Amino acid sequence: MKTLVIAEKPDMGRNIAAVIEPRAKNNRTYLEGEQYIITWAIGHLVGLAEPDAYDPKYKRWNLRDLPIIPEQFKIIPNPKTKDQLKVIGEVAKRCSHIVNACDAGREGQYIFALIQQQLKLRQPVKRLWISDLTAESIAKGFAELKDGVEFEYLTQAARARSEADWLIGMNASRAFTTRHQTLLSVGRVQTPVLALIYDRQKEIEAFESQTFYDVLAVFKQEKLDYTGTWQGERLTSQEKADTIAAKVNGKNGVIAKYEVKETKEYPFKLYDLTLLQRDANAKYGYSAKKTLDLAQALYERHKVISYPRTNSNYVNEQNIEGMHKALHMLKSTPYASMAEGAEPSRVNINNKAVCNPQRVEDHHAILPTLKRPGTLSKEEQHIYDLVIIRFLSHFYPPAKYKQHTVLTEVEGETFKTGIKELLSLGWKVLITRDKEQKKAKPSSKKGKEDEEEETQEWNDRSFDLVPDHPVHCKKSEVKEKATQPPKSYTEGTLLKAMESAGKSIEDEALRDAMKDSGLGTPATRAATIERLKKVGYITMQGKKITVTQKGRTAVELIRHAGVELLASPEMTGQWERRLNQISKGEASADVFMQNVQKFTISIINKVSSQRPAPSSLFGGDEDKAKGRGKRSTGKADAAARAREERPPKSAPKSKTATDASSVRSPLGRCPRPGCDGQIIEGRKGYGCANFKTGCSYVIWKEFAGKNVTHAMLKSLLLQGKTQVLSFKNDDGSTYKGRIVLAADGNGKLSVQAEDTSASVK
C-alpha cells in the first residue's frame, strides 16, 4: 500500500509532490505516484462545534445558561471545505502509512490532529518538519522523517490553546452581551489589543501641553559653522531664555569637550510579515490586512516571494544558495543596477544577521523566489519593491558615519552639538536609488526641530573642527516649543505594540514567553485589527486609530467587572508560558484547562453581579454588528461569532442614565443655570448626564485646532478658561492665548489672545 502525505495547503502539496513524486498524476484534489499519494487541507477543515451542538437551548443567548463548559469538546467539518475532507478520507483507505506535512508549528500540528480525529485515521504517522519548501529541504526532510509520537506534547498544547480560547471567548462574549443588552465581542487577543488603543487615547486626552524654550547658538571657527543647543534644566521662562541668548551673542568661546567615533549602520532585518506590514503602513498607508492580501497574492498567484505568514527574520543554511541564485535572477530585471552593485560574499552561513537557524521556527524570512515578476499591480509592486530592497541590502556593506559630540562653552554657558557625518552610504544607496527611480518625494519628518538638537546629519560636507582653537558665537536665538502628547496608534505602530506587548510586563518569565509571540501571531494580527473595526470598537481617522464610544465602554465594563486580565497582555503571557511548557512536556494540559475553566466561571460570576450599562454609553456603533450572519462552523473564534449573533431580547434592560457612574466618572457640574447634572464624556464632546431629561449642554472635544483634554475641561468648568496655549494663525504664525468658556451656559468656546484684545470664535 502507498503512503499518504497531508500538506496544509495546495501549493505546499504540489511543491512536495514535485520532489518526491515528480511524475505523479494530477487528480485535482490530490496527486498520486507510485509510492505516495499527496493531498492537502485548505487551512482548517475541521473546527470546534458551536454551543448549540451540545444543547439546542444555547442557540439563544441567556446569561442564566452560562458558563458553557463541555465535558468533551465536539468537532465538526467546515461546510465550505467538506469535499476536500472527504477526499482525504477516501484516499486514506488505500494507504498504510501517513506523513503529516502540515506547517512545522503548533497550528499546523493542530490542523492535522483534527483531521486525524474526525476521519478516525489509525495508520502510523510520520512527521515532516521543515522550515521552507526548497527542493533540498523537502528531500532532506523526507530522508529524516520523525516519528509522529514525538509531537504529542505539541498537539496537546495546540488543542489546549484552541479549547481555552473557545471557553473564554464564547462565555465572556455572551456574558457581557446579555448583561448589557449590546453586542460585545470579547477575546483573549482582541480585548488586550483594544485596551492598548484605549489606554493610549486616554493618555492623549489627559495630556496637557507645556510651553518651554530652547536657546540655539551658531558658532563659527574659521570656515566651519555649526549649531549648538543650550544645556541645563528645561527653560519655562522666555525672559530667562532671552537673557542667555543675549549673554552669549557675539562672544567668543572654547571647545570644552570634543569626542569623535566612527559608527556603522547595518541593514535592517529581513522581513517577517509584521515588519512588512509596519513598513507598508508607514510608507504607503496600507492596512495590515491589505498588505497581507497583497503579499499572499505575490506568493500564491505570482509565485515571486516565499511564504509570507512568517514570524522569522532569518534563514537557514540551505537558503543561502537560493539567495545567491535570486540575486543572479534580479540582474536581468528592472532591479539590475541594484543587483550589479551587490557583493554575494556578504551573505553566507557565518553572517548571523541573515543566517540564524535557531531563530527560524515554522518558516524563514520573506525572500524573493527565482521567478521573475510578470505584470504586477501598482500595489503589488510596492510590496515586492520593499521585499527586494530589503533582500538586496544584505549584499551591501554597512553605512559608515563619524559621530561628533561637541560641548561649546561661552560666558559660562554650555551648548551641545551632535553631528553625524556621512563617510559612505553602503546599503543605503539602495534607498537613494529607489527614490530616484520612482521620483519619490522625501517623506516629511515631523519633529525634525526636536531632532536637530540631538544629531544633525552632514551628508555633503566634512565636519573639520579644531578643538584647541577658539570659536565665535555669530548668532543666538530663542525657539519656543511645546511638549507633545503620545502619538495615536497607526496600524503600523499598533502591530509593533502587539508584537512587543511583553515589554510592558514586569515579570521577566512572562516577557520571555511573549518575546516571539506577543499578542496574536503574524498570521492573525491583521484579522484582529479588522475584527475590532467590524464590531465597531475602533475607527480610522486617516492613518490614526481611535476608539469609538462602544470600544471605550467595552474596556471600562471589562475592567470594572473585576476581570482585568481579559484586557491585559499579562494573561496572554501567562497562557503562552504555560502552553510552551505543555509543548515541551513540562506542564499538564489537564491542569491548564482546569484553571481556564475556573477563570471562565469567575468571569460569569463577576459579570452577573455587574450593574447593566445604559444603552447611551455605547453610541450607535453596536447597530453595525447586530443581526444574524452565516453561522461559523470552522475554527472556533468566539469573537467572530459574537459579532454575527443578536443578543436575546429577554436579557434585562437598564432604565436610567444614573447607572452610567459604574463606567463613566463625572468630570464636573453642568454649568447650565438650573441644572444639577454632571458632565460626562461622550464620543465627540463632554455633555450633561441629564440629556434624557432635556439638558443639551455640551462642550465639543475639538476646538481651534486643539483637543480639549480632561485637564483643560476641568479648568474651563472651574475657572472659565484654560492655561496659556499656543495657537496658529492662517499665515502659519503662532500666538499665545486661552480657550474661554462662555458664561451664558451654552457651552460655546472662544480663544482669547494674550497679547491683543482680539479673540477667535
90 CB-near residues (< 8 Å, 6+ apart): none
If we measure between CA atoms, which residue out of 442, 430, 233, 216 comes closest to residue 338? Answer: 430
Distance CA 529, CA 537 (A): 10
Residue 666: all three cell numbers together: 463625572
- Helices and strands, counts by H and E, the chain: 23, 28
Q: What is the DSSP pairing of strand 413-424 with strand 224-230?
A: antiparallel
Residue 664: all three cell numbers together: 463613566
Kindly state the DSSP code that residue 315 receives in the 8-state scheme. B
549 membership: H or E segment, kind and range? helix 549-560
Distance CA 143, CA 154 (A): 22
Cα dihedral: 280, 281, 287, 288 (round 10): 60
Distance CA 41, CA 64 (A): 39
Distance CA 26, CA 18 (A): 11
The CA R_g of the chain, rounded to the nearest whole Å, is: 31
Residue 442: all three cell numbers together: 522625501
3-state secondary structure of 458: strand
3-state secondary structure of 59: helix
331-369 CB burial, b ≥16 within 10 A, e <16: eeeebeebbeebeeebbeeeeeebbbeebbbbbbbbbbb
CA 54 to centroid of chain Cα atoms? 36
Neighbours of 492 (CB within 10 A): 23
| Residue 483: exposure state from Cβ atoms within 10 A (0-12, 13-18, ≥19) | exposed
CB 204 within 8 A of CB 485: yes
Residue 630: all three cell numbers together: 452565516
Q: Which of 153, 286, 299, 307 is catalytic?
A: 307
Cα dihedral: 85, 89, 95, 98 (round 10): 50
Distance CA 150, CA 159 (A): 16
What would the 3-class secondary structure string for 653-683 be? CCCCHHHHHHCCCCCEECCCCCCCCEEEECC
Residue 424: all three cell numbers together: 559612505
Residue 734: all three cell numbers together: 503662532
Task: Give one DSSP letter per residue of 382-396, joined into a string.
Answer: HHHHHHHHHHHHTTS
If we measure between CA atoms, which residue out of 640, 632, 361 comes closest to residue 521? Answer: 361
Kindly state the DSSP code that residue 50 receives in the 8-state scheme. P
Instruction: Please confirm, yes or no, whether 307 is among the known catalytic residues.
Output: yes
Residues that are catalytic: 307
